[in-house]
Amino acid sequence: MNNEPARGSDEAPPAASSPNPSSSPTPSRTRRLFGGWSANLLQVVLGVTQQVALVPVFLHYWTSDVLAAWLAIYAAGNLVLVADAGLQFRAINRFLGFKSSVDCDGRTACFYAAMRRIYFGWAGLLIVLVLIVTRFVSPAVVLGFQAVPDFDAAFVVMMVGLLLSLPANLVSGLYRARGLYGRAVGLQNWAMLLAQLGQLVAIITTGSLLAVTIAYAAAQVLMMLYFVGIDASRMVAPLRGVRVRHSWSWITGQFRKAAPFAMAGATDLALLNLPVLLVSALVSDRVAVAQWGLTRVAAGLVRALCVQVTLPLAAELGHDYAIGLKDLLRSLYARGSVFITLLASAVVSGLLPFWSDFFALWTHGAVRYDPLLTMTLLIGASAAAPSILASNYANYSNRGELLVRTKGLQLGVFLILSVVLIPPLGPLGAAISVVASDLLIQFGVLGLIIIRQTLERPLRHVVFLAALMVCVTLAGWALGTIIRSMTPGAGLMRFVSECALWLIVVAVAATPLVNPGFRAQLDARIPK
Of 104 and 18, more confident: 104
At 165, is the secondary structure helix, strand, or coil?
coil
Residue 145 has pLDDT above 90, yes or no: no
Alpha-carbon gap, residue 348 to 377, rounded angstroms: 10
> What three-state secondary structure class fits 517?
helix
pLDDT-wise least confident of 196-200, 258-262, 474-478: 258-262
Rounded percentage of the chain residues whose pLDDT exceeds 70: 95
Contact 20, 109 (CB under 8 A): no
Which of 237, 234, 9 minimizes the C-alpha distance to 109? 237
pLDDT at 8: 41
Q: What is the pTM of this model?
A: 0.80
| Residue 94 CB neighbour total at 10 angstroms | 25
Residue range 219-245: mean pLDDT, rounded: 82
Residue type for position 323:
I
Half-sphere exposure of 218 (CA within 13 A, CB side): 14
Confidence of residue 288 (pLDDT cuts 50, 70, 90): confident
pLDDT tens by residue, 234-278: 887 777 777 777 788 888 888 888 888 888 888 877 777 778 778
Please give the angle made by the CA atoms of 409, 413 and 416, to the nearest 5 degrees: 135
Reduced to 3 DSSP states, what percent helix, strand and coil does the chain have, rounded to the nearest 5?
Answer: 80, 0, 20
Which among 129, 104, 75, 469 has a CA at the least distance from the CA of 319? Answer: 104
The residues that bridge with 244 in the sheet, in sequence order, are 15
Greatest C-alpha distance within the chain = 75
Q: Closest Cα partner for 348 from 308, 309, 299? A: 299
Higher pLDDT, 242 or 528: 528
Residue 27 has a pLDDT of 61
The phi, psi pair for 244, rounded to 5°, reads -135, 155
For the cut 50, the answer to whether the pLDDT of residue 2 exceeds it is no
